[in-house]
Every structure is written in structure tokens, then in C-alpha cells.
Structure 1
Amino acid sequence: MSSIKLEKGWSKYLKGEFEKPYMVELSKFLEEEYTGKTIYPERDHIFAAFNNTPFDKVKVVIIGQDPYHGKDQAHGLCFSVRPGVRVPPSLLNIYKELNRDLGIEIPTHGYLMDWAKQGILLLNATLTVEASKAGSHQNKGWETFTDTVVEILNREKENLIFVLWGSYAQKKGENISDKHLVLKSTHPSPFSAYRGFLGCGHFTKINQQLARLG
């Protein structure tokens, strides 16, 4: 990953991570994976969350788990899919809550680039996956990298809004300082959305906090 280009604000804090042993090992693993298998997202989209939401612009952090492992879905932003791809079930439930909470019409696409450009960091815990093999790149080093991202945001920024949907995201954000607003609920997956996510009112809370901060 020596040729990776990161937005300069993120690079300031993260460039040292790429020299650490765990990241060197992860780079070797990914080189082999991308050479011999179908891996998502494409290499130049691995760090899309950072490059589309500059460090200085981050206002909200939504933590996901893994990239989608289906064809043409993943492009580096958690929960988001490329234009023209069917809206996945979890994202559809996010849209349903957005509609219920704020009255926003449910989009016909699942492309969340507008969110990223507005300062919402759409961060997966693991940034790559093998096609059709959910979770295949877990425990290879990505979690350490994204834990560091959360730690840096927690330390360096003020008044962020961390959105933690589901137990996995909540565990990843368990050390976030109370100087930030932390919103928690069940995951928007069809398996758990009706146990607290639908009706959580997080989008109103996000808007209220952003308005308060000006």
C-alpha cells in the first residue's frame, strides 16, 4: 500500500501507521489477495471514506463492520453502494428511519457520497473483503488501523457525533470521550432493526446537535 494516497489532513495522523509491522503484514496479504482473487472494493477505493471526508471536515462518524461482498456494491463507504445497484436491506432500514424521523423521501439509490461530502465519515472496521465471502478479511490488521482512526478522532477533535449501530460498532466506540455525542441503537439489519433502530430518532438528534454547534 506504499502508493496509497490519503487526504492531507488524514495523512498527517495516519502516515506513520503504514510503517508499523501489522500494516506491513496487511499490505503483503492484500497484495496477494488482489493479485489472485476478486477483492472489494477496488484498490483505489479502499480509503474512499477518508478521501471524500477530509479530516478537518468530519462532523459525524458512522461505524460499519465489513464492505459488501457482492458484485459492484462496495466502493469504500460503509452502508453505501454504487449508483444503479439495488439498495441493501440495512440501508433501506436506515432510509426508513430517516423518512419516519425527518420526513425525507426514501431514495431510489444507495449511493451515500452526498453524506460523505457533508462531513459524515462512513467508516467500516474492515476495509476490504473477498467476493462472496463475508468477513474474510477480518483479523488481518484492519481493525487495528480503524481503532487508531477512532482514537485519533476522539483525541484530536471536539464535539463529534459518533453513531454506533449494533454491538460491534458499540464495542469499537466504547472508549469515546464524553466531549463527543455518542448515539447507540441496534443494527439496522432486518434481523435487529425492529428491536430499537426503527424509532431511535438519531437523525433528529444529529441535526439538533449540528444546529447547536453552528
Structure 2
Amino acid sequence: MTLFDLSRLGAWSDLPFFNETLPLIETALEAEHRPVFPPAPAVFHAFERTQPRDTRVVILGQDPYHTPGKADGLAFSIPTGFGGRLDSLGNIFKEIETDLGQPRSRTDLSDWADQGVLLLNTALTVPQGAAKAHAKLGWSVLVDQVLAELAGAPRAYLLWGGPAQKAAKNVDAGANLKIESAHPSPLSVHRGFFGSRPFSRTNEWLQARGLAPINWGDPEGL
């Protein structure tokens, strides 16, 4: 019996990962004695929300939040009403304000996903309280295949932290916009994330190609 409902993956379901590697990951997850985040129905949320043909921007993070109720399957996104510390997301909001002069308070980033921002982590699961513990579970196979699938057209890649930069080392910086910086975590944000201006630079790049910019601030009508 599979842990995951793969019926909403759309074109992503053609990736070999789902037949070849995911069963091995499922076996490992079934043996995991700690709570795992995000919940199984949300693990592939990023793929369900943003199809390959619609992806204009890839934000690549590390692994999901390891605090109960915080991870929702979109990298850096936090469900509305969470109520706890925002940590990385709070620092992202500060950079949006500095970079664009726009406020952002909505923690659910699904509106970014709906604009073509693939919010992907280098590992899609994490045990409670154990950051990076699933980094070698096999998720890297999926990330490699996703990046290969997206290589056929120019896109913007925002690579936050060492794991993201390592995973996307083969992304062509000539054909794509490739912005690499420190992770927005409180532990590393002052090492180059603040001031990196990823949001304005991405929008300038999109508009130079005749594409609509991303609304990184709060959705209209919030």
C-alpha cells in the first residue's frame, strides 16, 4: 500500500523517480519511528500546485520545517494561523520589504506557486526535531530529475544555502538566471541573504523576456 496519492501530479508523474525510487523511500518512511513532516498528503504539494510548463521560477531550499504544524509541502511556506516563530520565512519577508518596498504577511506561499514559482526543497521529508535527517533518503534523485526536466527552457533559479547550490550546480548560468546566496535561516541570513535582492532581480529578468513579474508581496484583497 502506497503512502502517497500521486493522482494530482500531472506531467511530473512521468519522471522515473515515482516508479523507481519512491517505493524505496516509502519503505524507509514506514520504518521511521519519529513523526515525519509534512504529512503524507502534502509531501508533493509543490508538484501538484506548479506544473513543469508553468514553472518560471524555482526556489530551492533545504528540507521541510521539523516543527509540528509548520511544513505544508511548499518550501518555506507555513500554513495560515500557525502562530509560532517564522524563522526563515520571516527573514524572507524582511528581504521582500527591503528589496521591493512591499509588505508580505501571508505565510502560506501558495499564491507564489500559482504564479509559476516551484517551491522545492532538496529533501521532501524530515523527522520531527531532526533537520537534514532525510537528506540521504533518495529525494536527491527527484530533485535531479526535476531540474533536468526544466532545463529545456530558461528559468530563474533562487538557490538558498549550500544543499540547494550543490543540487543545482549543473544549471546553466548563461541560459538561466541563477541567484545563489546564503540560506535565510537565522543561523546564516547575515552571510549574504540580506541584500541579495532576489525578488527584484528575478522580476527584472522575467520582464526583460516579456513575462509578467511575480507578485512577491501579499495577494491583492488580503
Structure 2 residues without counterparts, runs of 5 or longer:
211-222
- Which residue matches 1:189? 185
| AA of the residue aligned to 1:171 | K
- Which residue matches 1:18? 18
Which of 199, 205, 210 is residue 206 of structure 2 equivalent to?
210
TM-score by length of 2: 0.86
For residues 51 and 100 of structure 1, what CA distance do their matches in structure 2 show?
31
- Which residue matches 2:115? 118
- Which residue matches 1:82? 79
Equivalent residues of 1:81, 1:87 under 8 A apart: no
- Which residue matches 1:175? 170
- The two structures, once aligned, show a CA RMSD in angstroms of 1.6
Equivalent residues of 1:57, 1:119 under 8 A apart: yes
Give the fraction of aligned pairs with identical amino acids, expressed as a percent. 38
Alignment of 1:88-99 (within 5 A): 88-99=86-97
- Which residue matches 1:43? 40
Structure 1 residues without counterparts, runs of 5 or longer:
none
- Give the secondary structure class of the aligned counterpart of 2:112: helix
| AA of the residue aligned to 1:82 | P
Equivalent residues of 2:5, 2:41 under 8 A apart: no
Q: Which has the larger helix fraction? A: 1
| AA of the residue aligned to 2:149 | I
- For residues 108-127 of structure 1, the C-alpha deviation after alignment (integer angstroms, 9 at most, x for no partner) is x4211111111100001111
- What is the aligned length? 206
| AA of the residue aligned to 1:17 | F
| AA of the residue aligned to 1:206 | T
- Which residue matches 2:6? 4
